[in-house]
């Protein structure tokens, strides 16, 4: 039992990390069309909606996807327990931009994931005394007139790039291409 607990503690602390891939990642002997097709499939499997038509050949962009919360354990678009907790406490979304370029030896794939958080400044109670007033409205039509609920007060603020999701996408592309490669 002690060995199991130690292994679990090592994995939880991050010691079970896999090697990092270069971003952009070189895919030897893979033509850009195949790499783009695989990348599109991976993004769809992660529940991202790819925008059509693409801006340019070899470039993919997704619509924003709200991050998976703690209770959506089947979703893979949120990597790490800390990010799942963050998505459970805040409204977080991610957008993916992916570019596939031809090279002399195959193709190169670049992935950029941008994470944003919904900001609603000044909409919450300013003190404990005001918190009780949140529940005093019985008529929903009166709530609709409140300035606090005006959608123009909410905005998405950029947090940072999501390096862990970028790595997950690159690993899944690489794994998918290796499984599809014929054995010599």
Q: Report which of residues 90 and 142 the model is more confident about.
A: 90
Residue 143 domain flag: no
Residue 137 domain flag: no
pLDDT tens across 37-56, in order? 999 999 999 999 998 777 67
pLDDT for res 169: 94
User: Count of domains in the chain?
Assistant: 1
Residue 17 domain flag: no
Strands (E), the chain: 25-28, 59-61, 65-66, 92-102, 106-119, 155-161
Q: Is the pLDDT of residue 26 over 80?
A: yes
> 118 pairs with which residues across the strands?
156
pLDDT for res 108: 94
Q: Are 106 and 28 in contact (CB under 8 A)?
A: yes
The residue among 127, 110, 101 whose CA lies nearest residue 167 is 110
Domain with 106 in it: what CATH number?
Answer: 3.30.530.50
The domain of 162 spans: 27-121+153-179
pLDDT for res 148: 55
Q: Which of 28-32, 78-82, 145-149 has the lowest mean pLDDT?
A: 145-149
Q: Is the pLDDT of residue 19 over 90?
A: no
pTM: 0.72
Residue 94 domain flag: yes
Mean pLDDT value across the chain:
78
User: What average pLDDT score do residues 88-115 get?
Assistant: 91
Residue 102 domain flag: yes
CA dihedral sign, ordered 144, 148, 149, 152? positive
Q: Which of 17-26, 125-134, 169-178 has the lowest mean pLDDT?
A: 125-134
User: What average pLDDT score do residues 69-91 get?
Assistant: 83
Residue 106 domain flag: yes
pLDDT for res 164: 92
pLDDT for res 95: 93
pLDDT tens across 113-140, in order? 999 988 876 656 566 666 666 566 555 5
């Amino acid at each position: 039992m002690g060995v199991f607990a130690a292994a679990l503690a090592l994995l939880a602390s991050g010691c079970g990390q896999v090697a990092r891939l270069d971003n952009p990642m070189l895919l030897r002997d893979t033509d850009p069309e195949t790499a783009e097709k695989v990348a599109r499939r991976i993004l769809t499997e992660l529940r991202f909606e790819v925008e059509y038509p693409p801006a340019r050949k070899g470039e993919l962009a997704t619509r924003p996807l709200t991050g998976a919360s703690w209770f959506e354990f089947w979703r893979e678009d949120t990597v790490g327990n800390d990010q799942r907790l963050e998505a459970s406490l805040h409204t977080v979304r991610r957008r993916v931009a992916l570019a596939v370029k031809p090279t002399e030896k195959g193709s190169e794939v670049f992935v950029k994931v941008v994470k944003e958080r919904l900001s609603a400044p000044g909409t919450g109670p300013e003190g404990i005394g005001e918190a009780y007033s949140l529940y005093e409205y019985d008529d929903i039509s009166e709530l609709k007139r409140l300035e606090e609920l005006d959608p123009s007060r909410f905005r998405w603020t950029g947090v940072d790039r999501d390096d862990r999701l970028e790595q997950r996408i690159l690993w899944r592309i690489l794994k998918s291409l290796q499984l599809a490669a014929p054995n010599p």
